[in-house]
């Protein structure tokens, strides 16, 4: 049903796509301001729309480069997996440097949900973006991220994707064969600090493992990791 202006626009766009054999309409001559007005039209009329809120209408809408990414670019959401994140969520301010993140708009939550664009929680941000980047972070940033995880571990520990991401992430400095430890102290230069994922290390509290691998470099986490969360 064509009940709103958004319905009419979505229907016309769908017809153009059909004429193009399923290809996307050409938007090179459409300004960012015009794309923004188009997005606002769909967002404001989503609840009362007919065709634009249908599966076919939403699929057409996904192919229109009218969505604002976190870095300010206008993108379509049919070309990949996109997410959005409220500004109050931990580490949300860092997401503009990652691809696949749309600018968060509280007024567009229903439209985003209908389009299959999930809204991230802090656990989602940590699992998708922060944990995989831990190895390449500056020591201070890595320390801050891990401090947040430790502080909220009583809640975060039940999030399976985050646990898997942390299990694969390289952020644990290791005990050297001379008994020394990595110097991940937040300085500007952490060259020479060996970081491994938890799955690559042995638990020094297991007596057999401690006996077998004692004196071997890179087998155990440094002593600072012995404190249980």
Q: Which one is predicted more confidently, 136 or 216?
A: 136
For residue range 110-152, list pLDDT tens digits in order: 999 999 999 999 999 999 999 999 999 999 999 999 999 999 9
Q: What is the DSSP string of 153-190?
A: HHHHTT-HHHHHHHHH---EEBB-TTS-B---SS-S--
Answer yes or no: is pLDDT of 3 > 80.
Answer: yes
Greatest alpha-carbon pair distance for the chain in Å reads 75
pLDDT of residue 201: 76
pLDDT of residue 186: 41
Answer yes or no: is pLDDT of 77 > 80.
Answer: yes
Answer yes or no: is pLDDT of 185 > 60.
Answer: no
Q: Find all residues with CB under 8 Å of 187, minimum gap 6, and list them.
A: 139
In terms of Cα–Cα distance, which of 128, 32, 23, 34 is closest to 79? 23
Token pair listed for 229: 């969360």
For residue range 93-102, list pLDDT tens digits in order: 889 888 899 9
In terms of Cα–Cα distance, which of 225, 227, 224, 222 is closest to 174? 222
Token pair listed for 150: 């430790």
**Mean pLDDT across the chain:** 85
Mean pLDDT for 26-55 is: 93
**Confidence bin at 83 (pLDDT 50/70/90):** very high
Percentage of the chain modeled with pLDDT above 90: 62
Answer yes or no: is pLDDT of 154 > 70.
Answer: yes
Q: 32-45 vs 5-19: helix axis angle to the nearest 10?
A: 120
Token pair listed for 199: 């799955």
pLDDT of residue 182: 54
Mean pLDDT for 37-56 is: 96
Residue 52, beta-bridge partner list: none
pLDDT of residue 189: 40
Answer yes or no: is pLDDT of 192 > 80.
Answer: no
Instruction: Check if the beta carbon of residue 200 is closer than 8 Å to that of residue 166.
Output: no
């Amino acid at each position: 049903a064509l009940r709103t202006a958004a319905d009419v626009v979505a229907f016309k766009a769908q017809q153009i796509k059909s004429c193009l054999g399923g290809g996307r309409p050409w938007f090179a001559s459409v300004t960012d301001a015009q794309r923004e007005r188009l997005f606002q039209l769909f967002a404001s009329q989503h609840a009362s729309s007919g065709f634009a809120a249908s599966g076919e209408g939403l699929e057409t809408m996904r192919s229109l480069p009218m969505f604002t990414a976190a870095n300010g670019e206008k993108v379509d959401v049919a070309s990949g997996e996109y997410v959005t994140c409220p500004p109050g969520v931990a580490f949300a301010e860092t997401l503009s440097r990652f691809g696949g993140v749309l600018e968060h708009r509280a007024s567009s939550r229903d439209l985003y949900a209908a389009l299959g664009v999930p809204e991230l929680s802090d656990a989602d941000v940590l699992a998708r973006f922060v944990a995989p980047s831990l190895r390449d972070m500056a020591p201070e940033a890595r320390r801050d991220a891990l401090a947040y995880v430790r502080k909220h571990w009583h809640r975060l520990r039940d999030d399976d994707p985050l646990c898997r991401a942390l299990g694969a992430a390289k952020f644990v400095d290791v005990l050297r064969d001379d008994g020394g430890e990595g110097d991940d102290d937040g300085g500007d230069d952490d060259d020479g600090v060996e970081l491994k994922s938890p799955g690559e290390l042995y638990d020094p509290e297991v007596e057999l493992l401690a006996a077998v691998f004692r004196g071997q470099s890179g087998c155990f986490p440094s002593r600072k990791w012995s404190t249980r969360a």
